[in-house]
């Protein structure tokens, strides 16, 4: 199996030390905050993973640049690990179904984590949104014209729960925790989310820590969550176990 590893600003021994230090933080939210804070200002870079219907998948660790999904991929694998070899193996578990490193088996959709990584995360959207939660059934990867977003990936019917942004008031925000993975619900047919990040609470402030593709930023930033979500269709929340 081919591998490609770029640790950028860290050496492997430095990363080993970081992972050991984070593993001693017992609170999961605090651990995710600690790890994800190290990625602030890392460049936004799309298409860092290799593989498609015509190109064999390569197992990649590239900390030089992240998109919204590889960012949370790395953080989730890191929070499960106390050493670099553990991180490497946990990334395979987080990113691929049954650690089968192929394009077809990569978790391309945010709610794939709910389906295939249920030992790591819970979908707590309905607990947080209670009666405000909406339910919809989508066929992921199938566009309105029946073509696919990702060639070579089988479309899947999936029930999705989300909280409409207009319903995200103080009672909802109070139930969200630091370290929760936030999926920004997409109204586009065939997609579950348009973006993903990590919730960070700091006193009375709540942030979305995410790899922003916005041309103003193009890096990992903390952004006011309430302002950000107010302009989006809704929210899906996965909570690490």
**pTM (global) more than 0.85:** yes
- What span, in angstroms and rounded, lies between the C-alpha atoms of 103 and 56? 7
- 3-class SS at 135? strand
Average pLDDT, the chain: 96
Q: What is the pLDDT of residues 62-81, one digit of tens each?
A: 999 999 999 999 999 999 99
Whose CA is closest to 232, among 191, 193, 179? 193
**Rounded CA gap, 227 and 220, in Å?**
17
> Does 232 have pLDDT greater than 90?
yes
Nearest CA to 197 out of 71, 62, 34 is that of: 71
Q: H or E element: which one contains 226?
A: helix 225-230
Helical (H) or strand (E) element with 14: helix 12-23
Q: Which domains, ranges and CATH numbers included, belong to the chain?
A: 3-99 (1.10.3670.10), 119-240 (2.30.260.10)
């Amino acid at each position: 199996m081919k591998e490609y590893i770029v640790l950028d600003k860290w050496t492997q021994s430095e990363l080993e030390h970081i992972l050991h230090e984070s593993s001693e933080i017992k609170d999961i939210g605090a651990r995710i905050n600690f790890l994800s804070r190290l990625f602030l200002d890392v460049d936004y870079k799309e298409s860092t993973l290799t593989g498609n219907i015509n190109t064999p998948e390569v197992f990649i660790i590239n900390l030089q640049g992240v998109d919204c999904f590889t960012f949370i991929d790395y953080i989730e694998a890191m929070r499960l690990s106390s050493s670099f070899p553990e991180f490497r193996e946990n990334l395979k578990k987080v990113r691929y179904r049954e650690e089968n490193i192929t394009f077809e088996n990569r978790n391309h959709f945010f709610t794939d984590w709910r389906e295939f990584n249920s030992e790591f995360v819970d979908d707590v959207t309905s607990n947080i949104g209670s009666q405000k939660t909406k339910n919809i059934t989508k066929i992921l990867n199938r566009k309105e014209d029946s073509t696919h977003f990702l060639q070579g990936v089988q479309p899947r019917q999936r029930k999705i729960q989300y909280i409409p942004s207009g319903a995200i008031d103080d009672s909802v925000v109070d139930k969200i925790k630091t370290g929760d993975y936030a999926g920004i619900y997409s109204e586009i047919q065939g997609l579950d989310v348009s973006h993903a990040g990590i919730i960070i609470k700091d006193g009375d402030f709540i942030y979305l820590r995410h790899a922003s593709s916005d041309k103003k930023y193009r890096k990992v930033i903390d952004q006011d969550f309430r302002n950000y979500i107010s302009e989006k269709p809704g929210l899906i929340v996965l909570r690490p176990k």
